[in-house]
Amino acid sequence: MFTRLSMAALAFLTCLWMALIFDFGNVMHHLSEFLQALEAD
């Protein structure tokens, strides 16, 4: 569970960093897909 939480935190920070460089709306779209993937798993 800790590893999974760490991966989620890392992915969130990555998306946050990308949001500073790329289109924010596109990043949020991928983030929502990532969260849905976690819930499905």
Task: Extract the tokens encoding 12.
Answer: 């969130």
Express each pLDDT in 17-30 by its tens digit: 877 777 667 777 88
Q: Which long-range contacts (CB under 8 A, 24 or more apart) does 22-26 make?
A: none
List, in order, residues 6 or more apart from 9 with CB less than 8 Å away.
none
Largest CA distance in the chain: 31
Q: Is the pTM of this model over 0.85?
A: no
Confidence grade of residue 10 (pLDDT, cut at 50, 70, 90): very high
